[in-house]
Structure 1
Amino acid sequence: MTAYRRDRTPGATWFFTLNLADRSQRLLVERVDLLRASFRHVMLRHPWHIDAIVILPDHLHALCTLPANDANFSLRWRLIKTGFSRALPRDERISPSRQSKGERGVWQRRYWEHRIRDEDDFRRHVDYIHHNPRKHGHVQCVADWPWSSFHRYVQAGLLPADWAGGDISLLQAGES
């Protein structure tokens, strides 16, 4: 098994992107109930704070903060992905490589992680997460996407309900 070099800062906040293996699938929104159940199950045993999250049809973005003495985000994601996969019927296409290892073909093996450096980095990633459904053309207004922590931010008074409801080119100009 490949040993990836990862930052292991305990208690850090991280931005993650996880993708389905078949990006044409819509499993994450079609079976959001199973994904939520997997998150709840893992968070009971391995708590962490989800600062922001968006679930899209074929991928998700999350901003999560680990407990003070804990750096093991990879365990949490492995358990969340496994729990979700096991709850699904076994009807996905499985590559020969995955078959030889006894793996399912639901998720891409790896995921993207980025440790948040400061408040500005945090804010930019929260904005990226909340804007993502609009960026991908799923909705015109961020508030119209149901699977987003954007609604929690509005309820807490951190963002206005019409945030990012205007000209999309203004937000895209800040993206790399």
Structure 2
Amino acid sequence: MLTVYGMKSSGNCYKVQLLLEQLGRPYRWVEIDSAAGETRTPQYLAMNPNGKVPLLEVEAGRYLAESNAILCYLAEGSPLLPQDTWQRAQVLQWLFFEQYSHEPYIAVARFICRWLPADHPRRADLPRLHERGAQALAVMERQLAQQPFFAESGYGIADIALFAYTHAAADGGFDLSAYPRINAWLDRVRAQPGFVAQQV
């Protein structure tokens, strides 16, 4: 059975949980508290030298890290990752966008607002994070004016990756009311078979 080492409050971990639920694949979840140092123990670093979650254990001694790499691995052969090379490249485009232009701003703002004290120095970063996060949301809004999901092949792991932190963007101080197409897309994702809400 697949084992996921993850933290329920993490959007990157939620991606993996959501995909597994929608694929209907059995798995075991091991909750790891990275804030308590559980990803820095010698035992965990032996599994993932980068010391982060999520981590997928495919079989004894075989591990895969990085949330979007895990999505690609698990979705292989399913409708959630197209076989056509052009359509697959579109999916990858949005996975890279999510990790480079979206998650570093929207997820980090969420972390600062939810888990750091009001007088923490990192709160000074919020104006820049909000500016760059709004740019990412504007890109998404424009894309969703053209089609209902991010890749032309339809709902898939590009949507799962982007949903994970977008649905919780308000936690980081983003006002999603300015993005009607994103809100409609969030509802379409929630309506997909096997959808489960994030447990935080």
Tell whether the structures are fold-level matches, with TM greater than 0.5. Answer: no
Q: TM-score, normalised by structure 2?
A: 0.28
Higher helix share: 2
Q: TM-score, normalised by structure 1?
A: 0.31
Higher strand share: 1
